[in-house]
Amino acid sequence: MSALGLWLELSRTNLISFRLSHASSGYLLDPRLAQVLTALIHHFQRWKDVSFEMQSSSIELLWHIFPDNLTALRSISAKLQGLWQAPSEIQAPVVPWRHLTALNLSFDYEQLPTLDKCMDILTQCDNLLKCTMNADCVFDSKLTEKVALPRLNHFELILQSGPQIDHRGYTAGSSLMSFLEQLELPNLPSFSLQWVVRRNAWAWSAEDQARLISFIASLAPTLHSLNLAYLPLSDQDVLRCLQPLQGLSHLDLRFSLADKEHDPITDAFLDVLSTDQPSSNYLPALQSLHLQSNGGRCTCLRVIDLIKSRWKPISGDPPQLRLFELVSLVPISTTKTRETLRAWKQEGLDVAIDQVLIR
Question: Of the candidates 253, 332, 327, 328, which has an alpha carbon nearest to the alpha carbon of residue 286?
Answer: 253
119-143 pLDDT, tens digit each: 999 999 999 999 999 999 999 888 8
Q: How far apart are CA 191 and CA 188, in angstroms?
A: 7
Say whether 282 sits in a helix, a strand or coil. coil
Please name the amino acid found at residue 344: W
Q: How far apart are CA 264 and CA 241, in angstroms?
A: 13
Say whether 53 sits in a helix, a strand or coil. strand
Report CA 65 to chain centroid distance, whole Å.
Answer: 32
In eight-state DSSP terms, residue 330 is: S
Question: Of the candidates 256, 271, 195, 257, which has an alpha carbon nearest to the alpha carbon of residue 227?
Answer: 195
Residue 169 pLDDT level (bands cut at 50, 70, 90)? low
pLDDT of residue 263: 96
In eight-state DSSP terms, residue 92 is: P
263-273 pLDDT, tens digit each: 999 999 999 99
Residues 6+ apart with CB under 8 A from 25: none
Q: How far apart are CA 184 and CA 69, in angstroms?
A: 29
CA atoms within 13 A on the CB side of 163: 8
Q: What is the pTM of this model?
A: 0.89
pLDDT of residue 90: 37
Q: How far apart are CA 328 and CA 326, in angstroms?
A: 7
Three-state SS string over 228-267 comes to EECCCCCHHHHHHHHCCCCCCCEEEEECCCCCCCCCCCCH
Residue 193 backbone zone (phi > 0: left; psi -120 to 50: alpha; other: beta): beta
pLDDT of residue 327: 96
pLDDT of residue 79: 81
Q: How far apart are CA 80 and CA 286, in angstroms?
A: 36
pLDDT of residue 265: 97
